Structure 1
Amino acid sequence: MEMNMLTREEIIEVLAPYNLWGGREWKAVMREKYISSIEKRLPHGAVALIGTRRSGKTTLARLFLMRSVEAGNSPDATLYVNLEDPRFSPYLKPELLEEIFSAYRTYVYSGRDPIVVLDEVQNVPGWERWVRKVLDLGEARVIVTGSTSSLLRSELSTLLTGRVLPIEVFSLSFEEFLAFRGFSGDIKSILGKKRRVEALLREYLEFGGFPQVVLTEDESLRGELLRELFEGVVLRDIAYRHGFRDARTVKIVAELALSRFSSLVSVSRLRNELAGIVGRKVSPNFVDAVLDAMDEAYLSFRVPVLSPKVKDAMRYPKKLYAIDTGIANIVGIRFTENVGRLAENAVARHLRQRFGEVYYYRGKREVDFIVKEGTEVTRAIQVSWDIDESWDREVEGLVEAAKTFGLMEGTIITGWKSCEEKIGGIAVKCIPLWRFLLSLDTNPQPSRPHRP
């Protein structure tokens, strides 16, 4: 095979500083649920860690390699490949993966069953063909990471159907955030520190859960990190990857959309606002394509209406949420004016992580979230930071939705209030946001593949 751009010796020189066998050590707070999830799935095929940049995919993959060494495997039996290293960038094709693996097998490890991590694998067109070959021949166990949900569609739905088990990686949940801040244990043990937890909740709503941001003490620097993250996703994972020519206009669409987080987002309204800003006509198809790309890059996600009528699903716009409240804040209005919407966004992200698909309900009143598990509706949820000001409206919608979907209860997520009342035959429960975010099991779930 002709590979005159990098020799195998040069490949090892690139790889060594990243790897345990090259003397690299990795230190990070353990996210045990994800590590356990990888450990459980890897014997049954390759594992794909998919999520937005800086959510912790790379760290998780590295920690898993360290865990395997701690369990008795040789450091030489692990290989981490950073496919965003600029020395690889001119040669990103499946042949490069084969040369990297051959160089590793020649100079580092020729034994059985190595673990190979391909970080940001979407940078290599046709990567799935090489992974399929390795799996078919039993040459290695493979973990891939990617910052685009397209890995859940065409790549995994063709050559790798049933061979790769995807896990979506999110920024820190509130439970993980507390662990990063030194809190652990169940809700009973946390109750004695309730005021401190409530203060940390406000911090979590304002700055979000990206690990690097959480571990940064300087608030102004946190803002800079979030801004840099936002712009990096827009430029690299949206504008460049999808071939949009005008990155500035793409960024404006993203900012306009995210400034409306926790709200219905209309493509036609966004198009009109964008046209006023850029001073020219804008195609609604362009705006819609950018919104799709934002979802694919895990910058945002949208929630559709749940209705048995197809025309309702097509007529009503989707609600848009940021993948992390820190991202919502960096492009939105100030935190003190925004806390109710941030609380709703935090609930949306929590439900999205736990259940995958989430909806809203629109009847006489709107209900923020309807959860389906399989074909069955299991939860109806409202979010109201100050429930005393909106009790009648929230309850009316919740009771209507519960009766529509045959539920016996509905939940209102509040700033601080707890309550339980029977209204119209429906049990209405109020749960403070901090408690709700700690109450639902958020073990990493196998992602539900999007339809191609």
Structure 2
Amino acid sequence: MLFSDSQIDSVYTEKIVDAQTRSMPVMTRRDVWLPQVQGKALAVIGMRRAGKTTFLWQLMAQRVQAGTPREGLVYFSFEDERLAGLQASDLDRLVQTYYRLHPEWRDQRRAAFYLDEIQLVPGWETFARRLLDSENIDLYLSGSSARMLSREVASSMRGRALEATVTPFSFREMLRHIGHEPTQEWYKLTKASHSQLAHDLDQYLEQGGFPEAQGLDTRSRHALLRNYVDVLLLRDVIERHNLSQPQVLRWMVQQLLGNAAGSFSINKFHADLKSRGVAVGKDTLHQLLSYLEDAFLLTSISICSSSVRQKQVNPRKVYPVDTGLIALFDRSGKANTGHALECAVLHQLLRNGAEVSYVHTPGGFEVDFHARYPDGREALIQVCADISSQDTLTREIRALQDARKQLTQAHAQLIVLMPPPSDLSWPSDIELTLASAWLLNDQMSHSN
């Protein structure tokens, strides 16, 4: 714990100088969408171990490539035992220390501050707002989901911060990480390249996109991912919200992640707990689900409806943040490739900024996703790993056609893992797309 201003200044100076003189780390470039609004801080959020700190360094590297000298960039991590007990009143000394080292930057040139794990300092929000108002700087903030959740940043920064969400690797980012990212559009690739992509997609659906999990053997990967989940539940949910029934939370997680891409009803789960003699209120269960979503462990989507009541009374479909988590909780013994593919498609839709729901048609069919993109386009998307039979293809198409009776402006699309047999046929108003092409955002389609 720090005891004097001189000790604080010494640590500040050491960390600033070390960060400015260290070599830029070699890292896989991330495709994270950034809001382009002047005068706002950028809060980098996301699940633990998804790569938020690495993304801060990527942003710094982009500035260097654009010509900003290293002395104009300040990376500072507050996750340091020497800074334990730091208070908001001590944060001003960080700014003073930087400008004492580089006085030529004060007011004359625009510096950029990258403050990592700043949520460890109580009252950091007031400092961040004042920094934006009083100094000629761009401000980037990042931290664990425990104390820097999106809605908390929005409220504590009083509209002064926008968010960028870092997720585990997308399929393209994973390919980039292992050196297999295509340099051409999908339809221009060779047959050998298509086969390699199909193999890599199988690996991606199984191992997921957490950076540290890439290339690990199955046992090591499962141990790593289980540790991620355990730490998240303990720190970001149980301790943070002071839960009195942590076992109920763990049962819920098992239910949710053990049925990836399945529907989940609070009412049914409540009834199941009641039958076991577990006394817990429905409101508490709703809170637990929201805590898990706030911590980025999972995403739930509601039924497609203009009625708020319909969205509330119908079950939600639940997806883990990463396909690699499915095997940890699924007890069926099956490969669950279809559920993993559906999960991958959902997260790519979210990365693309779409509002996503699922569709229950008048005829009693279900379509996996209705997506509304930022530009107003709509899509009905059905995901199927195996359409090797005409019966399967017919069933999937029937659901899409029935949904289009309600959603007439939506483009209908069937995303499949493997190319269909040549003797299968489908209507011209349904686009059939290979998942490897769609996940790369190259909309390659088959046509009759």
What is the CA deviation profile of residues 396-445 of structure 1, one whole-angstrom value per residue up to 9, with x for unaligned ones? 2100112211136411111203589664xx7112222222211269xxxx
Which residue is 2:237 aligned to?
Answer: 238
Looking at structure 1, the residues matched to 124 and 77 of structure 2 have their Cα atoms a distance apart, in angstroms, of 14
Q: Could you give the per-residue CA deviations for residues 291-323 of structure 1, whole angstroms, max 9, x where no partner exists?
A: 101111111111111113343222211100111
Q: How far apart are the structure 1 equivalents of 2:329 and 2:78? A: 30
Tell me which of 172, 177, 180 is aligned to 1:180. Answer: 177
Shift, 1:4, TM fit: 6.6
Q: Distance between the aligned counterparts of 1:294 and 1:422, measured in 2?
A: 40
Higher mean C-alpha displacement, 115-124 vs 291-300 = 115-124
- Give the deviation of 1:209 after TM superposition: 0.6
Aligned counterparts of 2:190 and 2:165: Cα–Cα separation in 1 = 28
Q: Corresponding residue for 1:193?
A: 193
Is 1:397 the counterpart of 2:399 in the alignment?
Answer: yes
94, 97, 102: which one aligns with 2:91: 97
Q: CA deviation at 1:150?
A: 6.2
Point out the more displaced range, 120-129 or 429-438.
Answer: 120-129
Deviations 1:3-40 (A, max 9, x none): 97353434543673586546433423331544xx65x8
Distance in 1 (CA, whole Å) between partners of 2:76 and 2:13 is 7
Structure 2 matches for 1:145-184, cutoff 5 A?
A: 145-148=142-145, 151-157=149-155, 159-161=157-159, 163-184=160-181
Q: Secondary structure at the match of 1:227?
A: helix
Please give the alpha-carbon distance, in whole angstroms, between the structure 2 residues aligned to 1:108 and 1:334.
60
Indicate if the aligned counterparts of 1:20 and 1:78 stay in contact, CA closer than 8 A: no
Contact 1:372-1:378 within 8 A present in 2 as well:
yes
Pair 1:140-2:137 in alignment: yes
Q: Is residue 63 of structure 2 the alignment partner of residue 68 of structure 1?
A: yes
TM-score, normalising length from structure 1?
0.84
Compared with structure 1, are the counterparts of its residues 326 and 157 closer, same or farther at alpha carbon in structure 2 (3 Å cutoff)?
Answer: same
Distance 1:158 1:90 in 2: 21
Residue in structure 2 matched with residue 208 of structure 1 by the alignment: 208
Where does structure 2 lack aligned partners over 5 or more consecutive residues? 444-448
What is the aligned-residue identity percentage?
25
Give the letter for the 2:438 counterpart: F
**In the alignment, is the contact (CA less than 8 A) between 1:12 and 1:103 conserved in 2?**
no
Please give the alpha-carbon distance, in whole angstroms, between the structure 2 residues aligned to 1:281 and 1:73. 59
Tell me the residue number matched to 1:84. Answer: 79
Residues 83, 408 of structure 1: alpha-carbon distance in 2 compared, 3 angstrom cutoff: closer
Q: Residue 54 of structure 1 aligns with which residue?
A: 49
Cα gap change, 1:117 to 1:259, in 2 (>3 Å): same
Which residue does 1:444 correspond to in 2? Answer: none
- Does the 8 A contact of 2:149 with 2:294 survive in 1? no
Structure 1 window deviating more from structure 2 (383-392 vs 240-249): it is 240-249
Residues 19-418 of structure 1 aligned to structure 2 (within 5 Å): 20-21=18-19, 23-31=21-29, 33-34=31-32, 41=36, 44-91=39-86, 93-107=87-101, 111-112=105-106, 113-148=110-145, 151-157=149-155, 159-161=157-159, 163-184=160-181, 185=183, 186-187=185-186, 188-189=188-189, 191-214=191-214, 216-274=215-273, 280-333=278-331, 336-363=334-361, 364-373=364-373, 376=376, 378-387=378-387, 388=389, 390-407=392-409, 409-418=411-420
- Is residue 359–residue 369 contact of structure 1 (8 Å, CA) maintained in 2? yes
Distance in 2 between the 1:190 and 1:245 partners?
A: 57
Q: Are residues 202 and 374 of structure 1, via their aligned partners in 2, closer, same or farther at CA, if it must alter by over 3 Å?
A: closer
**Alpha-carbon separation, structure 2, partners of 1:263 and 1:330:** 16
Q: Alpha-carbon deviation of 1:96?
A: 3.5
Residue 436 of structure 1 aligns with an amino acid whose one-letter code is W
Q: What do the CA deviations read for 1:211-249 (whole angstroms, capped 9, x no partner)?
A: 1112x4433222221111111211122222223244444
Which letter does structure 1 place at the counterpart of 2:174? F
Amino acid at match of 2:207: F
Which residue number in structure 2 is paired with residue 445 of structure 1?
Answer: none
Distance across 1 between alignment mates of 2:417 and 2:381: 14
Q: Do the aligned partners of 1:421 and 1:427 also contact (CA within 8 Å) in 2?
A: no
CA contact (8 A) 1:383 1:412 kept: yes
User: CA 1:108 to 1:248, structure 2 compared with 1: closer, same or farther past 3 Å?
Assistant: farther
The superposition leaves residues 309-368 of structure 1 with CA deviations (integer Å, 9 ceiling, x where unpaired) of: 343222211100111111233222477431111111111111121124200011221110
- Backbone CA RMSD of aligned residues: 3.0
- Tell me the CA shift for residue 252 of structure 1: 3.2
Q: Secondary structure at the match of 2:189?
A: helix
1:349 counterpart SS class: helix
Query: Matches of 1:256 and 1:87 in 2, distance apart?
Result: 41
SS of the residue 1:404 aligns to: coil
TM-score by length of 2: 0.85
User: Structure 1 residue 190: deviation in Å?
Assistant: 6.2
For 1:192, the aligned partner's letter is A
SS for the counterpart of 2:50 is coil
Q: Secondary structure of 1:308's partner?
A: coil
